[in-house]
Every structure is written in structure tokens, then in C-alpha cells.
Chain A
Amino acid sequence: MTIAPTSRADELAALRQRIARLERPGLAAAEAGVELVTHPALAPVLRLRAGGTYQVDSTTLALLLMAGPSRAGAWSALVGVDDLGAEAAAAWGVELSRTVVVPEPGEQWLEALAAVIDLAGLVVVRPPLLRGRRAPLAPSVAERLSARLRERSAALVVQGEWPRCTARLRLAEVAWHGVGHGEGLLDRRHAVVEVQRGSAPPVRVRLEGLGDAGLPVGVGRHGATPLRKAAG
């Protein structure tokens, strides 16, 4: 899946916009909500905007949101995510050489988050667990981070609780194909992404064949060979 602009004119326009942003860094602060590149799979229902906070319920969605800006040349960072599947990320289109992970920020996770917002165009954060629950964040702190995001033209993707998100993304009706009962191999999945803004009813988009992005599926010769079926 490549994120190719549809025509030459679009490409030129996108590049002009980027140059303008590079030439006048103050501009980004003035106009809040510069549009970032969105993965084409999500483009019908979501426009990723700088300064926005997006809550997701799965790592796959976080990677999908990361992929767009990362492909387009932005840096991305993950704070508090200690179980990143680097291979999956690369398959979705995340540029690993422009990715930074702070898996265990510890007590200083807010400071670390603020520091990476200064650097990266897209930040994924998983707030730490407090006594087994995701700690709720004070709305004032979230507001300050949000201002920082707007100023730096960055977007935040949150896995966990966050006050006042721009949109909430949920992966629904996931169906994996390829496995049976003792035979086959996970191959592709069909899912529905639900995007909810505020109290409006959710917008849905169907994702077909999600999971095979860029990876060869079932090219058998070198892979693991299954043994026998269940005996009994």
C-alpha cells in the first residue's frame, strides 16, 4: 500500500504546502489544524489534523495512523509502548529509521511525552497503569499538551483513557481468515473501523484484507510446516 498522491497536480500542491511550512515555521503555530497525511485505508472517515488527539483501542489502529505521516517524512514516537511489533509497523508503512520508542518512561512519562511532541510529527502514547487501571489525566494537563501539539503541528494517538479526544477510533467486527481448526495460517482479516467524534453517531468504514500490507502471505516453501491435526 503506497500513499501516492492521485495526480501530479496534487503532488505539486502537497510539496508546495510543505515548503511553505518549512520556510515559515511561525505559520504552523498561527493556523491550528494543519492537515497531516492519513493512511488511505482511513481517509474516507478520518482526516488526521495537527493538534488533534485520537484515541484508539488497538495497536493496529495506532500503527495505521502512524503510517501516513511517517511515510510522508515525519518523525514518529511511541511513549510507554513496550510491545511494539516492529515488523508489523514496517509492513504498514512506518519508517523505522524515523521512529523513536521510549518503552518505559516510568514516573517521568509526561515530561518524556512533552519532549517528544517537540520532535515528532506523530506521537503514540500509552498512559501508564496506576494500580491496575489507566490513570485518568487532569483535563488541564491535557489542554496544555494539546496547545503544545498545535504549536508543533503534531498529532497525538492515545491508547487508553484521555480527556476530550478529537476522535475515538475502534476496531469492530474483526474476522480473521486463514485458520481453521488445526490447519491453515493467519492470512488476512476483515474489520470495520468506527470513528466517533464527540457525541455524534460513529462513522464506519470497512477494511478489507487488513493485515497483509506489504507482507507475502502463505508463500510456503521456507516457512514453518504444520504437524498433524489434533489426535483425539
Chain B
Amino acid sequence: MRVFVVWCPDWPVVAALWEAAGEPSVDGAEAGSADSPSRRPAAVFAANRVVACTATARELGVRRGMRRRDAQGRCPELRVLADAPDRDARAFEPVLAVLEELRPGVALLRPGLAALRSPGRYYGDEEATAAVVAERLVRAGVWDVRIGVADDLFTAEQAARLARPQECRVVPPGGARELLAELPVEVLDDADAVSLLRRLGIESLGQLAALPAPDVRARFGLAVARVHQVLDGVDAQRFAPRTPPPDLGAEVAFEPALDSAEAICFSARRTVERLVAGLTERRLVCTELCVEVRTEGEPPVLARTWLHPRWFSAADVLDRLRYQLAGQGAGQGVGLGTLGAAVTGVRFEPLTVVPEHVHAEGLWGGTDARVERGLARLQGMLGHDRVLQPVLQGGRTPAERQALVPWGQRPTGLRPVEPAWPGRILGPAPARVFPTPWPARVEDASGRPVLVDERGALSGEPVRLHVEDRWQPVVGWAGPWPAETAWWEPGAAQRGPVMRFQLVGADGRAWLITCLDGAWEAVAGYE
């Protein structure tokens, strides 16, 4: 069986530049021109070392494994990019999709390197096939692509590395040894084995091939032994092609375009039911969904991701579509229920699916379906973000320690409650936490406002407190507890720390009051 290996050199840099530019540069000529980003020196760094760099940077002396300081010393205009293996894999996904269109059964070796079985004579001979592959990939925006064809994976990869951009190197059947014999031992992806071979005076794969197979296996391990087998003309390594992920999304197009939310939801109902039924057939449920609304106006596509605390039923999906359409109308200054622009289609894309048994209803607990439906109705009436659920999170002030999330949305980005937050106010939690602090006034016995300096010394003892539009005597007070908040923001150094006090009024109510720059505010009430 013949193997094609497709190699996109310096993939981490290509992926990082794509991400920085927003999308692949589809125009090949532009990508090749002198001032395109891919022609300027750039390198991806992980832990301060070069992981990959562009050809331009390599010409200027930047090498893999080099420290950032050294790399920038050789090439001051070097663009520094962060390493992100996820991004590399994500960016390679479209490349795999292109290859899969040509020949199903593609194996991802690592981002930037993929193998596929030879499609035989379907596209002509091997060179013609490689030309088709290269052409399709260049059209998809990957302009530096090299292809190797051989009897086995290792040889094909080495052949691809020897090929020139957008060209292919075909190793004839049985010709692996001739190609490999000349290569240095560094092509083995095993630093320990390479170092050992060097020290033993073995410099090329040809010399390695001369060693007896059992000895190679015993001394250098399985990976080198496999290469040795290839050199002997025995191919052992097979690759497992990936199964393309099923397309779970669903789409509905409106002809002519619709401009009423009700009509859109009504027309999308069948599609949504089909989407949910399709998931159920695979014994999956969707917990994260992306709804894309295509309109005739600007912007042409409005996408929004929705999370569900349990999973989306057909009615839930339609509710989310309705909220999204309502939000869209509101955002463009049009009344609720009318849209800014006519909608030509809607696409539903499940982003996270999980096996349904994960969410199977337990015998006890869980959300009452009646409550869930009722709250969804209430959200339809008042607006999605006006029906909320309180959750606790970590923080220093009472307001920081809680959050209100719209009902039906999973809380994300919360600060952990544990371990205990240093600097929080201990004791009982206040029953009232004001969403926006109330202005307050605190005076001393002579009727002057109490001032607090940055070290927490007071100009006088608090005697009178003005809050909720009335004055009352202070019967007890504690503090100040200083809190440095957001000290990294500009102007924070002049501002100094927030001083926090607990004041008990004569009516028995207590307040948590802050003082910042002489301005007193009530942030919470104990009553």
C-alpha cells in the first residue's frame, strides 16, 4: 500500500499568523508576496524557546530551541507569538477536511503533518494526485505544502521533508533504502537515540541499517527498530485513519426572507425537531449550542453561543432563537418583536454534545419540569436577563462574593469560593448587598466629616451616620480594614486602599461602609 504524507512546514507559526490575521489568507499570490505576514520573520515560543519559525526568520539565523533573547538579538524585528497546541490542531482541521474530500481515511500524525492512503489511479498517477492535493490546499490558504509518497509512513515523511514547496517527492516502490541511507541519524525523532548513535560513530541511516536487527532493538528501543525494519524493506507501521465527525448541525433557509420573530421560530420548528431527533438517535444530548442568524442587513451573520444547565430540548432551542432575535431587534433600536433586517436563514450548530446517560433523570432531585417551563415563560415576558439565579463565588466584598446569572445559563467565569479569601470581612454575612453602593456621611462629635488617612487613622470618632436619607447616632463601630483593590489600574497609587468599617446605628441596624478618598459609601446592610 502506498502512503501519501502531506507536510505543512512550521505549522505553529502558520496557525498563529492565521489567528492573528483572523483567517487564512486565501489568495496565494498575496501570501507569497514580500510584505505578507508569512514572509516577515516570526517565531512561536514556548517556555522562552523557539518552537517554530518562518523561513525568513530561519534565513536570519533563528533556530529551533533558541532562547528568545538570542533569537531577537539575531533578528530584532522578529514577531513573537505564543505557543498554543490547541490552536495548531484547530487550524489544521480545515486542512484535514480538504484532504478528506479527496480521499477518505486521513490520519492526523500531528498538526501540520497528515497521512492518507493513496487514492490509486483515481486522479491519475501519484504525481498528478499530489498536484491535485497541493492545488486544493493552496486554494484553502496553505501555500507552503510538501508531499511525499512512499511505501511506508516513515519514508513518505522523509520524502515530504525533502520536497520543495507545493511539490512532491515520489519514492518508487522498494526505493526506500536508497533515499534513507544518505540521511543523517538526526531524522530519528528521539534525542537520546541520536546522541547515542553519534557517540557510537553512526552518522547516517545507511550505517544504522548495517547493524543486526535484534541488537538495534535491544539497544535503541522500538522506535529505532521500526526505522531499521523500514531500511530492511519490511514495513511494520500502519496508521489508523480517523473517522470524520458526524455533522450534527441543522440549517433552515427562508425564501423569501422573514422579518418577524414569530414567523421565523414557527418556520424553524421542524428543523429544530429534526436536529434534536438526530442527536437522540445517536444517544447524545446537546449542552452548548451556537445559533447563527443570517440576515440581509449588516452584519450578515449574527452568531451567539448558548449554554444550558441540563440539555437543549426542541422547545429550549426555539426559546434561545427567540431571545436572540429579540436581542437583535433591541440592539438596533427597533421595538421588541421586530427585527432590524430580514432573516434569510438560521443555522444551529451543537458545540458540546454528551452521551444522554450523563444527564439521565435521577430518582430524586433535579429541576422540576413545571418550574423550568414557567421560568422560561417568565423570561419570554420580561427578558432573558431579568430572571436570575443567585450563586456564590469568592471575593473580598459582599458584592464580589455573589453573582446573579440569567436563569438557564450555566454560570461561567466565577471565582472559586475555596480556599478562604484573605481580606474578606468575617462574621455573619450581610442580608442586604447593594448592587450600587449608597452614598453615606459619617461625622464626628464636633459635626465635621470623619477623614481616614492611608494608614487607617481617623480624624475623629464616628458619632453620627447619614444613610437612607436620615441621620442617626452610631452606637458601635469596628474597623478600618484596608483593602487594596485593582491596584494595577492607572491612578490606583494616588487613590490608596479602600477602608472598610462596620457601623451599628441606634436603630439596631448595622452597615458595612467603605471610605475611599473621603467619600463614604454603604455597600451592605446587616439588619
Contact = CB atoms under 8 A, between A and B. Distances in A.
A129 interface: no
A115 B527 contact: no
B420 interface: yes
B497 to A, nearest CB: 10
Contact of B430 (A88, A187, A226): A88
B389 A99 contact: yes
A230 B457 contact: yes
A75 B368 contact: yes
Interface stretch (B40-48, B348-356, B479-487): B479-487
Contact of A59 (B459, B504, B507, B527): B527
B481 A83 contact: no
Contacts of A89: 390, 431
Interface in A212-232: 212-213, 215-220, 222-228, 230-232
Interface residues of B, number: 64
Contacts of B381: 108, 111-112, 115
B509 to A, nearest CB: 7
A227 B478 contact: no
Interface in B382-436: 382, 386-392, 398, 401-402, 404, 407, 419-435
Interface string A101-120: 11111101001100110111
A45 interface: no
The main secondary structure of chain B at its interface with chain A is mixed
B431 A63 contact: yes
B223 interface: no
A40 interface: no
B404 A191 contact: no
A176 B375 contact: no
Contacts of A207: none
Interface string B450-493: 00000111111100000000000000111111110000000000
Nearest to B460: A232
Interface stretch (A2-10, A142-150, A177-185, A196-204): A177-185
Contacts of A180: 476, 478
A14 to B, nearest CB: 16
A85 B429 contact: yes
A82 interface: yes
A84 interface: yes
Given A96-B389, A217-B427, A184 B378 contact: no
A46 interface: no
Contact of B482 (A111, A220, A227): A227
B156 interface: no
B333 interface: no
Nearest to B390: A86
B434 A83 contact: yes
A188 B434 CA distance: 21
Interface string A48-79: 00000000001110010000000000010000
Contacts of B461: 181-182, 230
A96 B405 CA distance: 12
B427 A115 contact: no
Nearest to A81: B432
Nearest to B512: A186
A12 interface: no
B362 interface: no
Contacts of A211: 427-428, 526
A208 interface: no
Contact of B370 (A88, A119, A171): A119
B500 interface: yes
A116 B432 CA distance: 22
Contact of A183 (B371, B423, B459, B478): B478
Contact of A84 (B390, B457, B502, B504): B390
A59 B432 contact: yes
Contact of B421 (A60, A185, A222, A230): A222
B478 A88 contact: no
Given A85-B402, A220-B426, A102 B386 contact: yes
B304 interface: no
Interface string A155-183: 00000000000000001011110111111
A23 interface: no
A179 B429 contact: no
Contacts of B427: 178, 185-187, 211-212, 215, 217-218
Contacts of B371: 75, 119-120
Contact of B504 (A176, A220, A224, A228): A176
Interface of B: 368, 370-371, 374-375, 377-378, 381-382, 386-392, 398, 401-402, 404, 407, 419-435, 455-461, 476-483, 500, 502, 504, 507-510, 524-527
Given A91-B428, A216-B426, A217-B427, 8 more contacts: A97-B389, A118-B374, A119-B370, A185-B478, A189-B508, A222-B422, A227-B456, A232-B460
Q: Top 8 A-B pairs ranked by shortest CB distance?
A: A174-B508, A227-B456, A224-B481, A86-B402, A87-B429, A223-B426, A211-B428, A86-B390
13 contacts: A86-B390, A87-B429, A96-B391, A97-B389, A100-B407, A101-B389, A115-B377, A120-B371, A215-B427, A217-B426, A219-B426, A224-B424, A224-B483
Interface of A: 58-60, 63, 75, 82-91, 96-97, 99-106, 108, 111-112, 115-116, 118-120, 171, 173-176, 178-189, 191, 211-213, 215-220, 222-228, 230-232
